[in-house]
Amino acid sequence: MKAELKRVHSPDVFDLKNFQPENTEKFAFLLQAMVGPEGKDCEESFDIEVCTPKWLEDTCGTDDVIIGCHYLIVRSYNYQKIVSAIKEFLKRCSGEDWNDVARKVSRLGRWEFEDYVE
């Protein structure tokens, strides 16, 4: 089974395709990659913080430690490059079943079922 990007969405940005950050060198926003099994009509959310190095530097300070899990660091905003990078990452996410695949995808973004216990 393989992962497939179905769509991207952001609760912070209304129109991702035409978005222009106020400060092109320093911004961050939540991007939700909706991913599911290739060829199937279902999807689950993986949360990614898209940000610039300047935003990280200014937000965290020089003495802080940053753990980069679930961050996508970009020099500038380019919708096509971001989507392409996510698709390239997903090409390496396959497994025997969806749980195997989703665990691999969750290295990119926080899976909505990451801590789910039945």
Give the tens place of pLDDT for each residue, 87-116. 999 999 999 999 999 999 999 999 887 766
With a CB cutoff of 8 Å and minimum separation 6, the contacts of 58 are: 26
**Domain contains 57:** yes
Query: Is the pLDDT reported for residue 9 higher than 80?
Result: yes
pLDDT of amino acid 69: 85
**Domain contains 118:** no
pLDDT of amino acid 67: 74
Q: Total structural domains in the chain? A: 1
**Domain contains 117:** no
Domain that holds residue 69: 3-111
**Domain contains 29:** yes
Distances 37 to 1, 7, 32, 84, 94 between C-alpha atoms, Å: 7, 13, 16, 18, 9
**Domain contains 116:** no
Q: Which residue has the higher pLDDT, 39 or 118?
A: 39
CA distance 25 to 106: 27
Q: What is the pTM of this model?
A: 0.90
Query: Is the pLDDT reported for residue 61 higher than 80?
Result: no
Buried b (16+ CB within 10 A) or exposed e, 17-47: eeeeeeeeebbbbbbbbbbbbeeeeebbebb
